[in-house]
Every structure is written in structure tokens, then in C-alpha cells.
Chain A
Amino acid sequence: MSGHSTYTPKTKFGKFWDDRLPIYRLVHDSFVTFPIPRNLNSFYTFGGILMIMLVSQIITGIVIAMHYVPEASMAFNSVQDMRRDVAYGHTLQTWHAVGASFFFIAVYIHIFRGLYYGSYKAPREILWILGVIIYLLMMATAFMGYVLPWGQMSYWGAQVITSFFSAIPLIGQTLHEYLLGGYAVGNATLNRFFSLHYLLPFMILGIVILHVWTLHVTGQTNPTGVEVKSKQDVVPFTPYATIKDAFAMVVFMIVMCYFVFFLPDYLGHADNYIPADPLKTPAHIVPEWYFLPFYAVLRAVDFNIMIPFTDVVLIDSKLGGVLAMFGAIAILFFVPWLDTSDVRSANYRPLYKIFFWLFVANSVFLGYLGSRPAEGIWIPLTKASTFWYFFHFIVIMPALGWFEKPKPRPASIADSVFGKEDGSAGAAAPSGATAAPETKG
């Protein structure tokens, strides 16, 4: 896939560098001549959008860190002062806060795109796992960043999330105190969270480089799920992907700017405009929207798990909730092996397609449930929705591979594209384009 390099330095200067540090060659091979399937749709632009979001978060983060004071009695006011007194301070601070939300919007679209088109299947398991690691690091970074403004939601969010670790048997309590640097969330916690919040994005950047590297080894998937077979199937990265990604980024930025400039508080929570108060918990504490589905999973386990026919508690409700929540993320690591189907793209998997959209709807619903108070009808709904989340991965995904009868796939990307050009139904089955048995589609 990656093929051998076609870069030839044109100038003496270029040759000088190429013999010593072939960085132009690397860029040329990775982002200029790198072949991409010609049939990628707009959902494939979110990788590029995420790259821009990461860079934008790092840059705005470095800049607002210059005006922020990581000290419990000053942190809250320092954010307000930055917004009022620093030139463009309000824009930069809001950009960073709203940017975190849009980073997650983009990453969720990216993940669901991967689930739809089977982007995790061989030979892209490592690519997928690196992606899940990035997602985990993003969650850690976003959580610690949300603590820094030191409002009520920051404080009580930190209180709740760090308490997860106290659920671990034997070492939990000690671990909790080590995490906080005290007996409760306080100045020490704020300081270390600031330090780690600054560090983690650079770790994300490192893994992103590996993620892109693996992508460039295996090549991209595409909506047909058929691997690239010939030069007919591909176009060079530049200008075709570059211009498309650039267009998508700007459109994404327009939506984001609408929120940054006109609805800066829409995605946040009003209680975070009240300074942290260790004596008073807000009436409804909820995490940021991007954690809501996992928060719902956490709350779904409100019962002890006993050893059958005894009174011995095997896993108490607290540990059970935490395990379920981490399990909901951890299960993503196993998706490449949970899906037993040979067919990659959901376009050719009539049943999986239905269950995929059900899963999407269920995830959104789970998020909504996470924002509701834990009372009344919400409790059984949360349990049902959580059950479906795991059921989808553990039962439906493996089972579909055995039961589902896939639709015929095109023999190649070019067939699918040129078939469409002819006016015949390209995606369905152009004549003679039925997949060969050994072809993964």
C-alpha cells in the first residue's frame, strides 16, 4: 500500500536535505502522493477535522494557560478576569471550552463512521485500538480541563469521578487520596490536574502520530469496504483529499463559531458560574454532555451482585457501576474480534445496518438518560438502555456474522464508481461485479 517513494528532490538544497534528514520526502509521501480511495464520502473528512481540533485545542490551551492561576482561591476569578481584561481573552477561553465539545462531536462521528464501514477489521485492528486509546486520553484530558475553572460543577465533578477509584477493593481508599493529594478535592488536586491537563494533549499527539502511521501502512477503508486493488481505485492525497478536507474543516468551523460567538454557554452548565463550594452540592450534578452515556451506565448499576444462594456480596453496587462504566469503554477494544462478519461495509449488511442505527439511537438516548435525575421512570429506562449497549457488542455483533446474508459487493472501487457513472445502480451490483469469495467486502 505505502509503496516505494516517488519523491525526487528538484533543487540542490532539496537534495542536501534529502540525504541528511528526508523530511520533505516524508511529507511528500504521506500527504502529497499518498493514494486515497476515490470514493471516500464526507464522513471520511473527520480525521482531518480532528487533527485541526487537536492543534486548535493545544494552541488555545497554551495561550489561556498564560492567564490562568491554578490555585483554589484564585482559579475561578482568574478565568473571569481573563475573559474580561485580556485582549481576545473571551474568544480564546470560549474557543477552548466549546472546542472541547466540538472535538467530541467530531470524534463521535469519526467512531460511528468506523463502526458503520467496518474500519476496525483486519488488517486495521491496531489502527482501531490506537483510536480507542486516543479517545480514552481525550476523556481524561477533558475531565481534568473541566475541573480547572473551579466552579461548582468542576468541583463536584472532580469529587464524583475521583471517587470511582475508591471503589477498587483494598487499595481504593489509598489510591483515591493519592489521586487527590489530600482527603478531599482541594488545591493539591487542582494543581496536579492542571499539570496533567497540560501534559496529556501531547501524549494524545504522540498516539495520533502512531494512528496516522498505521493508517498509512494499511491504507484507508472506503464506503464499499473493498480493498484498493489497482491505480484505478485511487487518487493522490494532494490535491484531492487536501481540498476536500479543507472544505469540510471550514464548514465544521462555521458550526463551531456559531456556538463560540452566539451560544457560548449552551454546551456548558450554569452551575459552573458559581465558585466551588465544598459545603454544598448542586441540586443536579451532571457531567459534560460527552460523558453522559457513560454516566448513565454508571448509574444503571444500583444493586449488589451476590454469589448465588448466599448473602455474600461479590461486587457491590459502587464497584459494579464503575466496572460497567469502564467496561462500556473497554469493550471498544474488542470490537475487531467481536464482529465476526467477513463483510466490512454496512452498505452490504442489511441486518447490521439496522442494528447499527439502533445502536446510534440507543447511545443518544443513553446520553439523554444520563442528564435526567435518577428517579422514577428514568431508572428502568437507563437499565434497559445500558443492557442494549452491551447486548449490541456482546451478542448482536458476533451473531450477525453467522446469520446475516450480505448483499453482493462490487469487485473493486473502480467498478463501483464507474458503474455509478454509467447510470446503473453502482452500489447494488454492477454486472459481473459480484464479489469473489475470497474478497473481503
Chain B
Amino acid sequence: MSRAARGAAFRQAAGFNYDFKPLVSSVNERKRMTKVSSKLLTLVGSVLVSLTLIGSAIAASGYPINKPREVDWSFAGPFGKWDLGQLQRGLKVYTEACSACHSLSILHYRNLTDLGYTEDQIKNYINDLGKEVTDGPNEDGEMFQRPAQLQDRFQGPYANLKEAAAANGGAVPPDMSLLAKARAPERGFPTFIFDIFTMYAENGPDYIYSLLTGYKEPPEDKEILDGLHYNPYFAAGTALAMAQPLYDEQISYDDGSPETLDQYAKDVSAFLMWASEPGLPDRKQRGFIVIVFLAIFAGLLYFTKKKVWAGVPH
């Protein structure tokens, strides 16, 4: 089992669903501890336990109705890496299914070299889409359209937010450059404490994946407004303006990956995680080196300190 998978399993076991299991174990834990410790601890313990109770009660009442489903991402954990094949498929899903409404305005076309494309391939990609940018002014003082180049930012479907709103009945499709970081439902107490140790930082892609695969017929007792679509994974209510965007066999893959909604959703979520932080694996690699070095340095300092303080009672 990979580290990420173990992390996910632990989180599952540790009560990711906010239900009863963690409570029981934490109460038992407290019981054992109070035998040996002071009354003060009992007090603190009971505060914590009641906090947990209240916390889960509140969390159950809010949105999203369902907590995001967790995916075993290649980029999770301390040695996380991109799966380039997945990112390329994700780009395809974005281009064919999302880009008609959602911009990706912070990215530059040159960033696609990260996905393993050559500059010529990217130029073809731009040309196939017929993307143009406004440049100028020229010698006559006029602005002009020219084909987009590698150093240009991704050109979105709309000229500005007003146009985007007008074309979508008032609901602006959000820019997707940082979506995987901007959509991260709160994990609640006490899960957010376990998250430190499991290094869980994938709530964004988990959320996007869950939302894309989560469209359902609304339950009988739920009334859904016209033009909205029921989705129990939506973070800000019971239904959202976007209709289900992905279906099985909608997009063709040429690397033999399954052409299913589930696969599309995973691929595009991973792609959006990349879009929100292309340098993620570098960051983790750098961090690993830094922490290993600091650990050695701390060890040396510890022994030096022991030597210096040897024979000095303190």
C-alpha cells in the first residue's frame, strides 16, 4: 500500500465521516487517561469531548451534504509526483469539456511544457483552438488580433466577467487556475488535527472529483429551483447552476485509459491541481532535503549542547 493510501485509510479509520467511531475511541482514551492524571485533565478532557460532540452535530447540519470522497492521488504524500499521462488527459478534458465556459487565466501556454509537451506541440494546440490575443497598438495606433504565443496567458471564453455573467444567466463560471486550492471544504474537528500528521492537503481535488461525479436525482423532499442542479457534494448549497458537465464516453482517450466519468473526473481534478500549483513536486522534494538536513543539524547541535553543558548542573 502506498503512503498516500495508508494515509487515506487512516483518515477513514480516524473518522473522516464525522460519525460516531472517533467519539467512542476518544472517550475511551479519556477514561484511561483520567485514571492516572489529575482532575484538571478530566476537565480538559470533558471539554474536548463535548467539543467533539458539538462539532459533529454542527458539521452535520452544514454544506456540503456529503463530505468529499477521497482519491489516492499520485501527488499526495511527501514524495508526491505528477502523473504526466493523467495531466495530459486532464488537459484534454479541460479543453473539450470545461474551456467553453471556464477560463484558466493565470496559466501561460508555455506552462504546458511541464506536461511533457514540446513547444511545437503547444503551438499546434494553440492553433487548433484558434486562440488569439489582442496586441498593440501598431504604428497606426490601432489594437490588433494576433495568434496567441507561448508567452501569452491562456485565453478564456469570455472577454470579461460581465460577458461571462450575461452568457450564463448571471452565474459567472469561476476561473479554474486556482480552483483546486480555492475549493477546500472545512474538515472540522478533530479531523483537521489528524490531517497534520497524514499530510492531507488534497481536499481541493477530492472536492472537484466528488462534485463532478456526484450529480444525482434530488431526493423527494428536496425542492430544487429551476435552472439549478442537485449535487450533495456542492459546498455552498444543495444545488448549483452548472449542469453535469461530464458523462461516460464523452471524450476519447488515446492511451487506453478507461473512457468513464470517473476517470475523466479524476484526470481533470489532477490537472486543476497542477494548474493551481505547477511546482508542487519540486516543493515537496525541496522540503524533504531541507528537513533531512535540519534533522542532522539539530542532532549535531543536540550533542554539542550536551557536551557544552556536561558537568554544569542545571
Q: A-side interface residues toward B, CB under 8 Å?
A: 38-40, 77, 80-81, 83-84, 90-91, 94, 235, 239-240, 243-244, 246-247, 250-251, 253-254, 257-258, 260-266, 270-271, 273-274, 283, 354, 357-358, 361, 365, 368, 372-373, 376-378, 417-418, 420-421
Looking at B138-146, B181-189, B208-216, B221-229, the stretch in contact with chain A turns out to be B181-189
Contact of B47 among A40, A240, A260, A361 (CB under 8 A): A361
Identify the closest chain B residue to A284 (Cβ): B186
- Interface size, B (range): 35 or more
Contacts of A378 in B (CB 8 A): 58
Top 3 A-B pairs, shortest CB-CB distance: A261-B287, A273-B182, A270-B184
Cβ distance B37 to chain A, nearest Cβ, rounded Å: 12
Is B159 among interface residues, defined by CB-CB distance under 8 A?
no
Contact with A along B284-302 (1 / 0, CB 8 A): 1011101100110110011
A264 and B283 in contact (CB under 8 A), knowing A250-B294, A254-B294, A274-B182?
A: yes
Selected A-B contacts with CB under 8 Å, 20 pairs? A38-B313, A39-B314, A80-B177, A90-B277, A91-B283, A94-B283, A239-B308, A240-B308, A247-B298, A254-B291, A260-B287, A261-B291, A264-B201, A265-B181, A266-B195, A273-B178, A273-B182, A361-B47, A373-B58, A418-B313
| CB under 8 Å from chain A, chain B span 236-274 | 236
B314 touches A38 (CB 8 A): yes
Q: Which of B40, B182, B295, B304 has the most CB of A within 10 A?
A: B182
Pick the contact of B312: A90, A240, A246, A373 (CB < 8 A): A240
Interface presence of B309 (CB below 8 A): yes
B174: chain A residues at CB < 8 Å are 274
Q: Mark B5-21, 1 if CB is under 8 A from A, else 0.
A: 00000000000000000
Nearest A-chain residue to B298, judged by Cβ: A250
A263: chain B residues within 8 A (beta carbon): 195-196, 199, 201
Tell me if B181 and A243 are in contact (CB < 8 A).
no
Q: Is A354's CB under 8 angstroms from B286's CB?
A: no
Say yes or no: B284 contacts A261, CB within 8 Å: yes
Among B54, B78, B182, the residue within 8 A (CB) of A270 is: B182
Query: How far does the alpha carbon of A254 sit from the alpha carbon of B301 in the complex, in Å?
Result: 13
Q: For A83, give its contact among B43, B54, B279 (CB under 8 Å).
A: B279
- Kindly identify which residue among A80, A243, A354, A357 contacts B178, using a CB–CB cutoff of 8 Å: A80
Q: Which residue of B lies closest to A247 (CB)?
A: B301
- Inter-chain contacts of A39 with B (CB < 8 A): 314
